[in-house]
Chains A and B, each alone.
Chain A
Amino acid sequence: MSNTEAYKGGRPVYIVDGARTPFLKARGKPGPFKAADLAVAAGKALLVRQPFAPETLDEVILGCIIPGPDEANIARVVSLRLGCGKKVPAWTVQRNCGSGMQSVDCAALNIAHGRSELVLAGGTEAMSHAPVLWSEAMVAFLGEWSRARSIPAKLGVLARLRPAHLKPVIGLILGLSDPVVGLSMGETAEELAYRFGISRPQMDAYALESHRRLALAQDEGRLTEIAPLYDSRGNVYERDEGLRRDVDMASLARLKPVFDRPFGNVTAGNSSQITDGAAWLLLASREAVDKYGLKVLGRIVDNEWAGVEPAQMGLGPVHAMAPILKRQGLKTEDIDFWEINEAFAVQVLACMAAWQSADYCRTELGYTAPFGAIDRNRLNVDGGAVALGHPVGCSGARIVLHLLHLLQRNQARRGMASMCIGGGQGGAMLIERGEG
């Protein structure tokens, strides 16, 4: 073991396997699987093919932003349902859209520093199950109602009930808004379009390409990381449902802006989709790899979390990826494949613009020179969240998993996975194929 393989000052960390569910498009009502169901389905397909029993895991870490009210510490719920047994501890992490990558980082750190040998880490999200809530006024009313004992008291409380009390609060809309700067995620994307002068046709063209790439990946059977989902009604789900094979520039152009009505540019067509899905990675120390004879997919080289202006949260990847390249002494062209999560088409385009902007790199990052342009043919080569969806707590794990498969398929060496995070952050992870 050479020192250069060490992760964050500790032991090297390997990823030995992974699996995800197909991503199911939310259709305006709760989907067939809850967040825990999704994680269990992908997890059991993954664990059943391992040479060790599920009880052998040292811990289970799961990212999730909106677990159901009956899924407190959803990681533990899932771990027990997976048959990992009572002795395997499990915990849930939340860094908004970075949750799925946060769990991988936590697992990697615990392995690097000798706390764990074998960890199941991933992310899950059932956005279609996001809660619909009563307003605070209604909750207060219900509280008073239950305290009122006599009939006159009840009538008195009832008299204060107003129609507005009954208006539901959509949890998902609140979750996708930044409470500090008062902008929805879509509005932060419009900010980026304005700042970098990115046009509607540019966004739509990017989105169209995302669909085209996913279609090709499906047709060529490249998405081997997917484990099918089975519901109890006799249905099987084998593919990501967000893909629109019939989409073209004209149909994208017809869509109305969702966030800055009526003059904005960010539409449902050039944004990521509201989706349900789960993804897992299996992380191991050198000792665990040897003990169980595991096949190594790749090694985690470096990881970075960065804070940015919340109103321009979409630029997070630039701030997370840059320090990694600096630390590792790498240039843009040293990275074979890039996975930058497509929260919005314009947001990825803005990251690419900032990446190669001398002005941006100097003023925002303090670097004397910009980075070289990221080759679009090495970025999100099998499509991204615009086409297959963005189950928020899951996507971070999904892009790392897919990157590993990409490196494997192309016998390439280095891959960078990165994502923007609502609230103004960025996360990035550098991985290398094989044992590095």
Chain B
Amino acid sequence: MMANDQVSYRHWRPEQDSEGIVWLTLDRADSGTNALSREVLEELALLLDNFAGSPPRGVVIRSGKTNGFIAGADVHEFTRITSHAEALELIQRGQSILTKIEQLPVPTVAMISGFCLGGGLELALACRYRIAASTPETKLGAPEVQLGIHPGFGGTVRLTRLLGPVAALDLMLTGRAIDGRKAKQLGLVDYAVPERQLVNAARATILHPPTPKRPGLLQRLPGTAPLRPLLAWYLRRSVASKAALQHYPAPYALIDLWQRYSGNLATMYLEEARSVATLITSSTARNLLRVFFLQERLKTEGRGADFKPRYVHLIGGGTMGGDIAAWCVLQGFHVTIQDLDHGRLAKVVQRAAGLFKKKLRSPRLVQAALDRLIPDRDGAGIGRADVVIEAIFEDADAKRALYRQIEPRLRPDALLATNTSSIPLEELGQALTRPGRLVGLHFFNPVAKMQLVEVVAAAGTDPAMVARAMAFVGAIKRLPLPVKSSPGFLVNRILLPYLLEAVAMEMEGIPASAIDRAAVEFGMPMGPILLADTVGLDICLSVARILARHYPIEVPKRLEELVAAGRLGRKSGHGFYDYKNQQPVMPSGKAASPLSELAERLILRLLNEAVACLRERVVADGELLDAGVIFGTGFAPFYGGPLHYLQTKGPEALRQRLDDYAMRYGSRFTADQGWADLIAAGKGGA
């Protein structure tokens, strides 16, 4: 009998079998997912201390949840950290508990099925052996950099020791997750076996422990003292091409940590903890954490209604229609796509096949996906579909004519959605005998990359249909953002003034490349001029014209001239830039004013429109607005969203800058009346 049996645990379930192996199951109370909260770790410490007197034959750590092993540390606890000292204490306590696992005098196995991420991977690394299920659901990774930190429970030490620096740093710098088979190839796990053999494998490993794996000389070589600076230099350079130091310090901190301390493991544990404590209290990490929670909130929005769609019908085989169709197929739906032109349908299938090959890899899965995609010239799928999405060209009359034609064939309970990017629902719904059934589902290009979908509802829209639309977006693993039907909805409306300001600046003679560089240095993923070229100048122009009917927007002549000249952007080979092999030829050019000033001018337009949208309640609250702009435009996530950025900088100061710009450039910089509320709220709260 073990001492453990007398103690009852909330999160852990220890069971000793007849061979003396302790099976330690983590089944976190009050949560569907295992995360390493303080309480979970302290309980583990208690358990491990109890082994000290009479150690078992071996210990297997496994999960009692069906969705995975351990998802990571408990990120909610991060938000409660107020100081560096507090952070350091928390991290070092975690380190010392995992070290207890490592120091057990008996074989230990982490039995992994499903996700094993972040702190979960660090716990597994503290075990002597790791055995993973070879299922596609099994994902191992160290995604900490995505939250602005790096592994802190000894992961930087143990992963490097296990894999050698190249593979280990690659996993930690990219944050990518790998499946069981890949993990076996890398040496991250000792065995990757079918689910049905997990228990056998864990048991056999404890009873006949093999020599633990260590990286070969070749893998260790780049970590030797003479070569370390070389690898560090190379890694810094490749990180710099993706994330700037001033915006994303975590990857640089990780490289520093490894370069300086990997020669001395004892120090490296301490320095790892110090580094994470510094990072976790930085504004970048706090803002990235905010973005993580915003994402979770949008995911929750998609979990409401009890709607289990299976068949989706797309009308319109253009880029958007085709890409939405392909994405839905990828998520397991059966999709019919309707277009009168066989050639366009053929291109849809071709592009979809490309996406499936990239995402699914296995030829069997690619084939299954292609089988679920049905080109449907005659619209046979309309009467079968749970969800019908119209994605034809932006012409209200054409859309209305289409709705009249298809409405009698729709199932009464089917969700009818339009992918219009700018036409208000009220204008389109008139064509239906049940106008309330029409919902907007506004996807962003490219569909496979952009997580956001605006779910648009007008005043008369049936709430049940909106709930279905939200659930559908959740089901296809996109983030639903509920927005009010108004011209441009949220994302395009906020983005357009920013793009048009860039065009105005280009007309003033500021080099396009300087404008783009300014935006990228600010933290945008892509400059506005290049973005306009990528979206297509004809599309930008059309959105601008539609929005100009509702808002005081001047459509720049330059845009009209370029479109008239057939310079449509990347797709036509020429736009603001010229393109060679789809890549822009960036002429070097210097701006007269500093880049930060250019960026400020661009961003102020964006912020001003964001304030207007908040005031008009285009979305329900500021959090949703920030989430929409981040996931719909890629707005610098480390600022936590435009409104959060605005609050950080202080609304009063920004408002002052707007007034200055209005004096110089005119009414388009006139501060929205919503600023007054923000300033007042700030003062009231202070």
Q: Which residues of B contact A238 (CB under 8 A)?
A: 342
| Partner among A48, A51, A235 whose Cβ is within 8 Å of the Cβ of B336 | A48
Report A61 CB to chain B, min CB distance, Å. Answer: 19
Indicate if the CB atoms of B383 and A83 lie closer than 8 Å. no
* Smallest beta-carbon distance B369→chain A, Å: 10
Q: Is B158 an interface residue (CB 8 A)?
A: no
Does residue B297 face the partner (Cβ distance < 8 Å to A)?
Answer: no
A233 within 8 Å of B (CB atoms): yes
| B368 in contact with A234 (CB, 8 Å) | no
Asked whether A236 lies within 8 Å of B346 as measured between CB atoms, the reply is: yes
* Residues of chain B within 8 A of A232, CB atoms compared: 349-350, 353, 370
Interface membership of B58, Cβ < 8 A: no
Q: Is the CB of A81 within 8 A of B380?
A: no
Interfacial chain A residues near B371, Cβ < 8 Å: 40, 44, 81-83
Q: In the bound complex, what is the Cα–Cα distance between A83 and B380 (angstroms)?
A: 17
CB contacts (< 8 Å) of A48 on chain B: these are: 336, 374, 376, 380-381, 384
Inside 8 A of A83's CB, which chain B residues have their CB? 334, 371-372
Complex interface: chain A residues within 8 A of B343 (CB)? 236
Cβ–Cβ contact B374 & A235, under 8 A: no
Return chain B residues, CB-CB under 8 Å to A234. 346-347, 349-350
Instruction: Tell me which residues across on chain B come within 8 A of A160, comparing CB atoms.
Output: none
User: B365-388 CB contact bits vs A (8 Å, 1 = yes)?
Assistant: 001101110111110110110000
- The reply to whether A230 and B345 contact each other, CB–CB distance below 8 Å, is yes
Chain A contact-residue range equals 10 to 19
- Chain B residues close to A by CB (< 8 Å): 334, 336, 342-343, 345-347, 349-350, 353, 367-368, 370-372, 374-378, 380-381, 383-384
The smallest beta-carbon distance between A361 and chain B, in angstroms, is: 47
**Min distance, Cβ A48 to any Cβ of chain B, angstroms:** 5
Contacts of A375 in B (CB 8 A): none
A217 within 8 A of B: no
Given contacts A83-B334, A236-B343, 14 further A-B contacts (CB under 8 A): A40-B371, A44-B374, A45-B380, A48-B336, A51-B383, A81-B368, A82-B371, A83-B371, A83-B372, A228-B377, A230-B346, A232-B370, A236-B345, A236-B346
- Chain B nearest Cβ from A35, distance in angstroms: 14
Asked whether, in the complex, the Cβ of A230 is within 8 Å of the Cβ of B375, the reply is yes
Q: What is the bound-complex CA distance between A45 and B384, given in angstroms?
A: 13
How many angstroms from the CA of A231 to the CA of B347 in the assembled complex?
A: 10
Let me know if B372 and A231 touch, CB within 8 A.
no
Distance in angstroms from B325 CB to nearest chain A CB is 13
CB neighbours (8 Å) of B350 from chain A are: 232-234
What residues make up the interface of A, taking CB atoms closer than 8 Å to B?
Answer: 40, 44-45, 48-49, 51, 81-83, 228, 230-236, 238
- Of the candidates B347, B353, B375, B383, the one having the most CB atoms from chain A within 10 angstroms of its own CB is B375
Across the interface, name the chain B residue whose C-beta is closest to A51: B383
Nearest-Cβ distance from residue A113 to partner chain B, whole angstroms: 31
Kindly report which residue of chain A lies nearest to residue B349, judged by CB atoms: A230
Contacts A/B (CB < 8 Å), 5 sampled: A45-B376, A48-B336, A49-B378, A83-B334, A234-B349
A232 to B345 alpha-carbon distance, docked (Å): 11
Residue in contact with A49 in the complex, picked from B347, B370, B380, CB distance below 8 Å: B380
Minimum CB–CB distance for A76 against chain B, Å: 14
Report whether B374 and A228 are in contact in the complex, using a CB–CB cutoff of 8 Å.
no
In the complex, what distance in Å separates the CA atom of A45 from the CA atom of B350? 18
**B335: shortest Cβ distance to chain A, in Å?**
10
A41 nearest CB across to chain B (Å): 9
Nearest neighbor of A83 in chain B, beta-carbon distance: B334
Q: Report the separation of the CA atoms of residues A324 and B376 in the bound assembly, to the nearest whole angstrom.
A: 40
Contacts of B349 in A (CB 8 A): 230-232, 234
Chain B residues closer than 8 Å to A82, beta-carbon distance:
371
B345 contact set on A, CB distance < 8 A: 230, 236
Provide the bound-state CA to CA distance between A48 and B383, in Å: 9
Q: Which residues of B contact A230 (CB under 8 A)?
A: 345-346, 349, 375
How far apart sit A233 and B354, CA to CA, in the bound complex (Å)? 9
CB distance from A60 to the nearest CB of B (A): 14
Q: How far is the CB of B613 from chain A (nearest CB, A)?
A: 40
Nearest-neighbour CB distance to chain B for A239, whole angstroms, equals 11
Interface centre among B350, B372, B378, B383 (most CB of A within 10 A): B350
Kindly report which residue of chain B lies nearest to residue A230, judged by CB atoms: B349
Cα(A51)–Cα(B376), bound, Å:
16
Give the distance to chain B from A34, nearest Cβ to Cβ, in Å: 10
**With A45-B374, A48-B336, A82-B371 as given contacts, are A235 and B346 in contact (CB-CB < 8 Å)?**
yes
Q: Can you list the 3 inter-chain pairs with the closest CB atoms, starting with the nearest? A: A232-B353, A234-B350, A49-B380
Min Cβ gap A193→B in Å is 42
Shortest beta-carbon distance from B109 to chain A in Å: 35
CA distance A228 to B371 in the complex (A): 14
Neighbouring A residues of B368 by C-beta, 8 Å: 81
**B380 proximity list for chain A (CB < 8 A):** 45, 48-49
Say whether, besides A81-B371, A228-B377, A230-B349, A236 and B342 are in contact (CB < 8 Å).
yes
Q: Complex formed: what's the CA distance from A154 to B418 in Å?
A: 69
Inside 8 A of A233's CB, which chain B residues have their CB?
Answer: 350, 353
Q: How far is the CA of A82 from the CA of B342 in the complex (A)?
A: 21
Distance in angstroms between the alpha carbons of A194 and B377 in the assembled complex:
49
Chain B contacts for A40, CB-based, 8 A: 371
Q: Which residues of B contact A235 (CB under 8 A)?
A: 346
Q: In whole Å, how far is A4's beta carbon from the nearest beta carbon of chain B?
A: 35
Q: Chain A contacts of B384 at CB under 8 A?
A: 48
User: In the complex, what distance in Å separates the CA atom of A111 from the CA atom of B211?
Assistant: 64
A81 and B372 alpha carbons, distance in the complex (Å): 8
